[in-house]
């Protein structure tokens, strides 16, 4: 019951935040993986998307008739410690399979929140096993919510997903099976990003660079793999462009820095965004599941 007792506390975080006295964390008995991605929100603000993956081995398998069932709950919180405002969402994930899934199989989902830009935000992600009250885990860190409202050329975060998967995250007519970048298999994958303030009709170049990294995170001896694309902007009315690229070649096990650089050939402006990707090489498979919102509030 410890984790479920923590949830109401997070609801009133805006009134009781004291960053100099951190709250105790719940028992660390349900490790999971997650990434946060930020994008410009329509009408102002920033959309923050959490891609979450939970290994089946960490969840209790329930039997319903001849099927196996797995359930977990997700709570995602953004707390602005300067403005003392809290944005949060509560969601549930449900998976039913004809037989037990492999222990290292990953169940992955996504949740998202819109919040104002802020350099004084704490992010908290809580995952609990819905079949075992009190079993779960919380991760929390400072998190800067970027401001995409400027007029200069900008790039959103880079999001990664697996091709050919149902139940995908959809944005601006593009679908992506989001997966945390620390858990990628040796396979092809999709890459999604958005370009801001690139007027329609402007010619532009996009360079994609994949740099192998050493164990300490420094650039490896191998040269980066680069690909260059040229095109003409088909921006929306707000001068933003959404792009989906597919990397067809599987990457060997290891860590990589993935960098996208865009150059507006009319203004000469350049913008870049980078993300670390860790290829694990596991072959136990994944299942993408859409989370069911339990409530969104402020």
- Residue 216 pLDDT: 78
- Residue 187 pLDDT: 84
- Residue 108 pLDDT: 95
Structure tokens at 66: 């001849």
Beta bridge partners of 147: none
CATH of domain 2-297: 2.60.40.10
Four-CA torsion 241, 186, 255, 33, nearest 10 degrees: 80
- Residue 28 pLDDT: 59
8 A C-beta contact, residue 78 and residue 87:
yes
- Residue 43 pLDDT: 80
Flag residues of the chain having pLDDT under 50. Answer: 1-22, 24, 26-27, 297-298
- What is the distance between the alpha carbons of residues 71 and 225, in angstroms, rounded to a whole number? 40
């Amino acid at each position: 019951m410890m984790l479920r007792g923590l949830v109401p506390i997070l609801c009133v975080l805006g009134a009781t935040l004291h960053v100099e006295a951190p709250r105790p964390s719940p028992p660390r008995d349900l490790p999971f993986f997650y990434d946060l991605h930020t994008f410009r929100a329509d009408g102002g603000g920033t959309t923050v998307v959490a891609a979450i993956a939970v290994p089946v081995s960490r969840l209790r398998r329930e039997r319903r008739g001849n099927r196996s069932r797995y359930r977990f709950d997700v709570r995602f919180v953004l707390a602005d410690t300067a403005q003392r405002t809290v944005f949060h969402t509560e969601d549930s994930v449900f998976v039913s399979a004809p037989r037990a899934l492999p222990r290292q199989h990953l169940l992955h989902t996504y949740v998202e929140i819109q919040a104002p830009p802020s350099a004084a935000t704490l992010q908290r992600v809580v995952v609990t096993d819905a079949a075992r009250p009190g079993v779960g885990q919380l991760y929390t860190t400072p998190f800067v919510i970027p401001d995409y409202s400027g007029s200069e050329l900008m790039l959103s975060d880079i999001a990664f997903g697996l091709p050919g998967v149902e139940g995908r995250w959809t944005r601006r007519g593009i679908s992506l099976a989001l997966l945390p970048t620390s858990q990628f298999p040796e396979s092809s994958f999709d890459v999604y990003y958005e370009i801001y303030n690139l007027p329609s009709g402007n010619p532009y170049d996009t360079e994609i660079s994949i740099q192998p990294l050493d164990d300490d995170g420094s650039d490896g001896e191998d040269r980066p793999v680069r690909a260059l694309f040229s095109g003409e902007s088909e921006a929306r009315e707000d001068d933003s462009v959404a792009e989906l690229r597919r990397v067809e070649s599987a990457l060997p096990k290891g860590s990589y820095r993935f960098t996208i650089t865009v150059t507006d050939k009319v203004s000469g402006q350049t913008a870049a965004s980078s993300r670390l990707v860790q290829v694990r090489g596991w072959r136990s498979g994944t299942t993408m599941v859409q989370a069911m919102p339990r409530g969104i509030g402020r």
